[in-house]
Structure 1
Amino acid sequence: MSQSYDLARAAFADWGVETETALAALASIPISVHCWQGDDVGGFEKKSGTSGGGIQATGNHPGRARTPDELRADLDFAFSQIPGKHRLNLHAFYLDTDEAPDRDAIEYRHFAPWVDWAKESGLGLDFNPTFFAHAKADDNLTLSHPDQGIRDFWIEHGRRCREIAARMGAELGSPAVNNIWVPDGSKDIPVDRMAARRRLEGSLDAMFATPLPKTQLIDAVESKLFGIGVEAMTVGSHEFYLGYAIRKGTALCLDMGHFHPTESVADKLSAVALSVDHLLLHVSRPMRWDSDHVVLLNDDLLAMAQELVFADLLAKTSIGLDFFDATISRTAAWVMGVRNMQKALLRALLLPQARLKDAEARLDFTARLVATEELKDLPFAAVWNEFCARADVPVGQPLLTTLEGYQTKVSARR
């Protein structure tokens, strides 16, 4: 232990906080790292796709992964710079095969190399059906499409993704979260919202018709406020999926970029947790809209982490990242995003929770205010540095040097 950590430990002990307990808790929290940051949401299908769904990565920084092997190499590097054991969140169009199956024909074998890699790396896997970047999604309608044939195509895709995710969970001994997000909506004001939402509900019911073991699979549904091309109405709104998750028993995904800029996901957590058994977080940073910037250690992130800890929601929440920025080093974006999520959690774990809650329960808002502000001056960085040192990962200038060195290596790909 460093001298700075010893001093920090004493400073937190004065507030009744044991830093070793906080470090142990942080080490047990896996973050699901999103594969699509590494290649600008391109995927590895053997046929050309279309964009769609409002998905757009801007920038042309050198070093984009072009193959599954390159993406796994980049992920190996990123994970080596992040303390703790984590997960990979894989989208369905990141299959690793010489075949060219359409979305309604994918099978577990098309993703087996990812599972083999995860086993070797000691990682868990999560999964997502890909309801965009396909000719049958060009209208920004998939599971709610008026054409039954198109709905059936996407229902079959969703069914197969659930089976693939469950097999991944079984192979790795850890349930895979299979998260469903569809781009469905209307650019201009619709006249029959109910019909679209009934179609979406029916399609979801068909996808979920076959029960799969919860020890292998966690089904999740994800809402969105709006997107490009669906400005007037999103079929899968927050209210739609909240009701669906409560009725059907699925997990509910809350994406930090999928709400109005003045809404707080931190505030929503305790509200929905009273009615939903499992939560999924997509941690992102919107800027004016769902622009998916790299996560910063800002007030939004700190508030969300504190709510997870103070509301005792960590055991029922899966934490995943969801951003993509092609203007900067893609591997550095992964590393900084995960580490910022961990820093936010650590800061929450290092707060004197019982003391703050007691002041609030006594309506002593002065004590709550003073304590909350004074706590901001505690040496959180020294505890974080100790966490990284124990995991043998760099901080500060050495981290920057390491990230820049790898970027120089992968820049030669272009």
Structure 2
Amino acid sequence: MTKSENIEEAYKTAKERYAEIGVDTDKVLKDLKKVKLSVHCWQGDDIHGFLFPGQALTGGIGVSGNYPGIARTPDELSSDLSEALSLIPGSHKVQMHAIYAVTDKKKDLDELEPEDFSYWVDWAKKEHIGLDMNGTFFSHPMVKNNFTLASPDKDVRDFWIEHGKRTREIANYFGKELGQQSINDVWIPDGFKDNPIDKATPRLRLIDSLDQMIEKKYDEKNTIESFEGKLFGTGIESYTVGSHLFYNNYAITRGKLWTIDSGHFHPTEDVSDKFSAFLPFGKGLMLHVSRPVRWDSDHVVIFDDALIRIARSLVLDNELNKTNIGLDFFDATINRVAAWVIGARATQKAILQAMLEPIDQLKQAELNFDFTTRLAETEELKSYPFGAVWDEFCVQNNVPVGTDWLNNIHQYEKDVQFKRDGKLVNN
């Protein structure tokens, strides 16, 4: 048998196995194709961007590794993204950061305009994808003493308020031009390294700054804001102004989205448990899928227990329709395009595995307090042939099956990435 025949036969067997427990794999594959991921552009160039060439990363953000082939220009980054998207099944979105503006003029963050992202809109139209937006509230001289929107200095606050307003206008431009809602994410590094005397006033300043920033109304079919908290960060270990609870409440009271970054919580917390606690009250979620090895280290997402729990919660509780799933990691120790593919495909696999559960049957067993059936079936499902269903999903979406996509990466390295410094790099 040929490889394609083996894949077809394996899927046929898997389909029959899942049908025995009431799961229609053909329907699951259609449902999975509807799930869009928002792939983060900053994995491709180690968060350098194009607005401030040579400017060092600050604000507790750092990237390790120096694998050859880093994207240095908009054309190189868009090429890398196109290569990654061609190896990820389905149709998706890309997250931008403000520092990825493409302009011939020297501009600061408070001067950006939609036209500075026309390059990315034109590219997105060719790729038939949507774009999300992120304000860049870090790695800038106007981050004073680890403060931006919550700064006691009005000039600092005003600078960042204006930046926030500009990113909202850009996100609205994305939505209008591409016909897909653009999520505009807000994360700031504000806080104190050691114990503060006054915890209330910085948060009151932040509320005022955010309210000014979002004062102008935009059609939500084009864009909506999402606010991202953090337990702590480097340099703000003792007090984070924009904590999880702060933004949870702000999002609910302002009718906005709350961003849950899976790396921004205490390592013992299960972020998947937070979805069903927030969504009955909140408008929706923006999810940043990351992998914190010790803390917010932003490792490439893999098909691990944490990711499986995240996917199961979204699927079993029917929360996919209120959740925007974005990726957020950066690893320069491996091929940067491969990192996108690994993380995205792992996330899709986790969602697929959850969709292949007999959800109604398991919920009924739980409702009947039949915990024996619940445990027995969920354990047996772990050895069901979901991999054969995944392979079929790849076939249906015209992307390589298994590790075949690595052949594409190796060829892309040889033809494109390894030639960027003017000489071929030995692999």
Q: Given the superposition, is the C-alpha separation of residues 48 and 149 from structure 1 closer, same or farther in structure 2, using an over 3 Å criterion?
A: farther
Amino acid at match of 1:403: I
Cα distance, 1:407 vs structure 2: 2.5
- Matched residue type, 2:401: V
Q: Match of 2:196, as an amino acid?
A: P
CA apart distance, 1:404:
2.2
Aligned partners of 1:335 and 1:257: how far apart in 2?
Answer: 19
Q: Distance in 1 between matches of 2:92 and 2:297?
A: 25
User: Is the CA contact 2:144–2:156 (under 8 Å) kept in the aligned structure 1?
Assistant: no
1:73 CA displacement: 0.3
- 2:371 is aligned to 365
| Closer/same/farther in 2, CA of residues 399 and 50 from structure 1, 3 Å limit | closer
**1:100 counterpart = 2:106:** yes
Residue aligning to 1:134: 140
SS at structure 1 position matched to 2:326:
strand
Structure 1 length normalisation: TM-score? 0.98
Which residue of 2 is the match for residue 340 of structure 1? 346
What letter is aligned with 1:181?
Answer: W
Q: Name the structure 2 match of 1:195.
A: 201
Looking at structure 1, the residues matched to 58 and 246 of structure 2 have their Cα atoms a distance apart, in angstroms, of 22
RMSD of aligned Cα (Å): 1.0
* CA contact 1:50–1:135 (8 Å) conserved in 2: no
Tell me which residue corresponds to 1:413: 420
1:53 and 2:35 equivalent?
A: no
* Selected match of 1:254 from 235, 257, 260: 260
AA at the equivalent of 1:375: L
Partner of residue 215, structure 1: 221
1:295–1:336 contact (8 Å) kept in structure 2: yes
Runs of 4+ deviating beyond 4 Å? none
Match of 2:310 in 1: 304
Cα distance in 1 for residues equivalent to 2:108 and 2:54 = 11
Structure 1 residue ranges without an equivalent (≥5)? none
Correspondence for 2:176 among 166, 170, 175: 170
Aligned equivalents of 2:72 and 2:53: distance in 1? 14
Shift of 1:46: 4.2
Q: CA deviation at 1:199?
A: 0.8
Residue number in structure 1 paired with 2:85: 79
User: Does the CA contact (< 8 Å) of 1:50 and 1:138 recur in 2?
Assistant: no
Establish whether residue 29 from structure 1 lines up as the match of residue 15 from structure 2: no
* Aligned mates of 1:399, 1:150 — CA distance in 2: 47
Distance 1:38 1:241 in 2: 29
Secondary structure (helix, strand or coil) at the match of 2:159 reads helix
**Contact 1:282–1:320 (Cα < 8 Å) also in 2:** yes
Give the structure 2 partner of residue 271 of structure 1: 277
Q: Is the 8 A contact 2:308 2:350 kept in 1?
A: yes
Query: Letter of the aligned partner of 1:68 in structure 2?
Result: P
Contact preservation (8 Å) 1:83, 1:388: yes
Aligned-partner residue type, residue 4 of structure 1: A
- Give 2:166's match in structure 1, choosing from 137, 160, 168: 160
What is the identity, as a one-letter code, of the residue corresponding to 1:290? D
From 125, 131, 136, give the equivalent of 1:125.
Answer: 131
CA contact (8 A) 1:37 1:323 kept: yes
Which residue is equivalent to 1:143?
149
Per-residue deviation at 1:275? Answer: 1.1
The amino acid of 1:179's aligned partner reads: D
Structure 2: distance between partners of 1:261 and 1:86: 29
* 8 Å contact kept, 1:52–1:138: no
For residue 396 of structure 1, report the CA deviation from its aligned partner. Answer: 2.4
Q: Partners in 1 of 2:328 and 2:248 — Cα distance?
A: 20
Contact 1:223 1:237 in 2 (8 A): yes
Q: Equivalent residue for 1:383?
A: 389
Deviations 1:13-64 (A, max 9, x none): 0110000110000000110000000000111014553422211111111111
Q: Secondary structure at the match of 2:96?
A: strand
Q: Secondary structure of 1:136's match?
A: coil
Assess, with a 3 A threshold, how the Cα gap between structure 1 residues 105 and 114 changes in structure 2: closer, same or farther. same
Aligned length in residues: 414
Per-residue deviation, residues 138-177 of structure 1 (Å, max 9, x unmatched): 5221001110001000000000100110011011111100
CA deviation map 1:222-264 (0-9, x unaligned): 0001111111111100010011111111100000000000001
For 1:49 and 1:234, the matched residues in 2 are separated by 25
TM-score, normalising length from structure 2? 0.95
Take 1:377 and 1:230, find their aligned partners in 2: how far apart are those partners?
44
Alpha carbons 2:365, 2:371 under 8 Å: kept: yes
